[in-house]
Structure 1
Amino acid sequence: MTLLEEVLINHSKGPIAILDSEIPIGNYIPLDLSVFNRDLEAFDISNPSVCQEYIDKVLKNDSFSIAYGGYLERRNLYIKSPGFAVKGEEERNIHLGIDFWAKAGTKVIAPLAGVVHSFKNNAVSGDYGPTIILRHELDGVQFYTLYGHLSIESLQGLYKNKEFRAGEAMATLGDTPVNVNYAPHLHFQIIQDLGSFTGDYPGVCAQKDLQGYQKNCPDPNLLLKITPPYIG
């Protein structure tokens, strides 16, 4: 276990909300969008409307508000997006963060105090759309959190080093045209070393690169503690 992973685990004893704080953590339900989910054989989830249809089906069947999951999940979600399956290169299809699928306009909550490192509208189809990266320091360890697929309005009024308190609403989710061809959701990723990236960082990798990315991007649930048995 890395020092960052230890810091994330020890930061809180219970779950931390990442979307609208009025939505109870108990209203989050795990969602499997992996290539191993047989239920997806009847759905082309690379189509945002079809993907939303499947998500709505999962939420409605169990009366939940937010579907989440995807850390290190191998997906077919990206097969129609440029840049994920470049000819002659290994396909990038392993997801490096957790996605939280909810309605466009849903508030995004800062899970811990931080300052704005950078922000950008990554408007290429299949990318993040509007994106914010925060810088944090816990117990002397510096790291970053990335929030992708936001609304355009989320970037207004931002500036480098703007502070956000833990639990403060910092953005809202974008709709499909704004988040560049995905059903509305938040991509949340923890990054130890951001390198030279500004307003962007890979959220999906190929199998050959997984070891390095997994070390640099630990499981966000170590911080959020949403996956059972943490749900109370």
Structure 2
Amino acid sequence: MTIPTPLERVLQKYSNDFIPILDGFAKEHYTLLDLSTKNPALGEIDITQVEGCQKYVDGIVERQNAKVAYGGYLEQRNLYSGNGHFAGAGDKRNIHLGMDFWAQADTRVRVPLSGKVHSFKNNSTSGDYGPTIILEHELEGMVFHTLYGHLSVASLNDLFVGKEFQAGSIMASLGTPDINVNYAPHLHFQIIDDMGSYYGDYPGVSTANDLKYYANNCPNPNFLLKVD
């Protein structure tokens, strides 16, 4: 049995209830989405293309009578295949470090717990996050961060380092594929223990060789959100 890290224990204790991260949807509106390499249903679908990915997501949401598809923590995916942003000299980056929430563009994003802006940036390279916001939080003396990627450009308006957001407040909205650099609309949400020197960005996909470090530094967002 894996022993929770100190941050994981703090996140678990924060709330016993589901915490909505997208505005207007209750827990029953969410359905689990499998984009992993182990999903045989993806064998005939090119999810690296916006249209193919969107069609598959929409089909899952419709069949489950849901409104939001979610999942992806430590999921190995083909979604990044062929994109130079994820290529390397050796081991390729294809293991997802956050949790994704697939919903319509312009869906509003809620802050799951109070914090202040650490940094923000439009990571506009194809395959990256697009507009990104990182918040800093402190719970029980522990400082950590949350990252929100694939946002609209308007989400970065009027931001400044140190700006405070209260839990449950609206902070941003989801971007369209042309803005979120070639993905079907969704929120990438990631919890980060040690940000290091990163500013407005942090790796959201890992190689197998680096996974032990990143899995420890980026705990499962469900410890906090309790979507399952």
Determine the structure 1 residue equivalent to 2:83: 81
> CA–CA distance in 1 between the matches of 2:85 and 2:91?
11
Determine the structure 2 residue equivalent to 1:8: 11
> CA–CA distance in 1 between the matches of 2:115 and 2:131?
18
Determine the structure 2 residue equivalent to 1:57: 59
Q: After the TM superposition, which residues 43-122 of structure 1 pair with which residues of structure 2 at under 5 Å, given as runs?
A: 43-86=45-88, 88-122=89-123
**Which residue type is aligned with residue 91 of structure 2?**
E
- Per-residue CA deviation, residues 162-215 of structure 1 (Å, 9 max, x unaligned), is 000000000000000000000000000000000000000000000000000001
CA RMSD of aligned residues (A): 0.6
Note if 1:150 corresponds to 2:151. yes
User: Deviation at 1:83?
Assistant: 2.1
TM-score using structure 1 length: 0.96
TM-score using structure 2 length: 0.98
User: Deviation at 1:63?
Assistant: 1.3
Gaps in structure 2 of 5+ consecutive residues: none
Per the alignment, in what secondary structure is the counterpart of residue 154 of structure 1? helix
Determine the structure 1 residue equivalent to 2:187: 186
> CA–CA distance in 2 between the matches of 1:16 and 1:152?
25
> CA–CA distance in 1 between the matches of 2:64 and 2:210?
36
Determine the structure 2 residue equivalent to 1:136: 137
Per the alignment, in what secondary structure is the counterpart of residue 157 of structure 1? coil
**Which residue type is aligned with residue 205 of structure 2?**
V
Gaps in structure 1 of 5+ consecutive residues: 228-232
Between the two proteins, the alignment pairs up a number of residues equal to 225
Determine the structure 2 residue equivalent to 1:34: 36
Q: After the TM superposition, which residues 140-219 of structure 1 pair with which residues of structure 2 at under 5 Å, given as runs?
A: 140-219=141-220
User: Deviation at 1:62?
Assistant: 1.4
Determine the structure 2 residue equivalent to 1:230: none
User: Deviation at 1:80?
Assistant: 2.3
What percentage of aligned pairs have identical amino acids?
Answer: 56
